[in-house]
Amino acid sequence: MKRRRGRIAWLLRLVLVVALWLAGVAAWIVWVGQHDRAGPADAIIVLGAAAYDARPSPVFEERIRHGLDLYRRGHAPVLLFTGGYGSGARFAESQVARRYALRHGVPDSAILIETSSRTTRENLLEARALMQRHGLRRAIVVSDPLHMARALRLCRRLGIDAAGSPTPSTRFRSIQTQWKFLLQEVYFFHRDLVQRAA
């Protein structure tokens, strides 16, 4: 009986430690997404998101608009849009973003795109290749607040000198969608840890 109580107490302590760890990871993800580190850079990398034919999704439009705002404020002379073709799509996400930027007065000479990536890691791999090709060294990465910690983690792993500038507002507005997004990012944090250790 005493041994059984000891095992239960040990299990409860383990559950508490795991819960505190997960809460700490979630708090860190939220904290990173609340801090805008935009400064002088060579390029503004806007991470891809869904597009509906030639129109950006609300999430993607928030990212594009923020990228345009940083460009207009003089943070960097180049906008680098990422994102490939979705299933059956006529346009790549980056092409949709480029059209949006052109319609809003950004010159074609200030826009770079890649059209092959489908994931955040691929977005950044392709962005790194474009930056190297054009002699660009430092970047500002634009994405949703809860996505920013993972994006910056991947930048460090890929050797991209980057600062994060999360969108000032997010289209993930309901508590349900925000919690779902946060839980997804907590999962990716641990998946990345496992992959790094492998």
All structural domains of the chain, each given as residue ranges with its CATH number in brackets, are 31-197 (3.40.50.620)
Provide, rounded to the nearest whole percent, the portion of the chain with pLDDT above 90: 66
Instruction: Give tens-digit pLDDT for 28-76.
Output: 998 999 999 999 999 999 999 999 999 999 999 999 999 999 999 999 9
Average pLDDT over residues 172-177: 62
Instruction: Give tens-digit pLDDT for 111-122.
Output: 999 999 999 999
At residue 197, the pLDDT reads: 56
At residue 67, the pLDDT reads: 98
Residue 173 pLDDT class (50, 70, 90 cuts): low
Instruction: Give tens-digit pLDDT for 7-16.
Output: 777 888 888 8
Residue 172 pLDDT class (50, 70, 90 cuts): low
Give CA torsion, residues 160, 162, 166, 168, to 10 deg.
Answer: -150
Q: Please tell me which residue, 71 or 88, carries the higher pLDDT value.
A: 71
Strand partners, 75: none
pTM over 0.85: yes
CB 28, CB 149: distance < 8 Å:
yes
| Residue (of 121, 40, 126, 39) closest to 81 by Cα position | 126
Q: Work out the number of other CB atoms within 10 angstroms of the CB of residue 70.
A: 20
At residue 60, the pLDDT reads: 95
